[in-house]
Amino acid sequence: MKMLTVIEAKERLQEILHEPGSEQILILQDGEPIGLLSPLTDPVEIERLKMAFSAQLHAILAEGRREIAEGNGIRHDDFWKDLDDDE
């Protein structure tokens, strides 16, 4: 694994991002790890990361959990029945 200081990473970021066959790079500040640059090539993994950091998705999930906790959810069978009825 390559290691670069914050300053080196900042100076070479454009080159690092477009380097073919790039590997993970550990970013150091004062000799201590503070970050990691990791290449993303798998479309499924890219989509998973987008969803994991989506504020909108997190808000939707939180609202759904709140509704379920308040007893306002729908039964599993009813969900699938409603879905079939929409088709």
Q: Where exactly are the structural domains of the chain?
A: 2-37, 43-86
Please provide the average confidence, as pLDDT, over all residues in the chain: 92
Q: Determine the distance from the C-alpha atom of residue 49 to the mean position of all C-alpha atoms in its chain, rounded to a whole number.
A: 2
| CA 82, 84, 85, 86 torsion-angle sign | positive
22 has pLDDT over 80: no
Among 44, 43, 2, which residue's Cα sits nearest to residue 19?
Answer: 2
Q: Mean pLDDT across the stretch 64-69? A: 94
Q: Alpha-carbon distance 58 to 50, whole Å? A: 11
21 has pLDDT over 80: no
0.75 exceeded by the pTM? no
Q: Alpha-carbon distance 35 to 4, whole Å? A: 10
Residues in the chain: 87
pLDDT digits (tens, 9 = 90+) for 50-63: 999 999 999 999 99
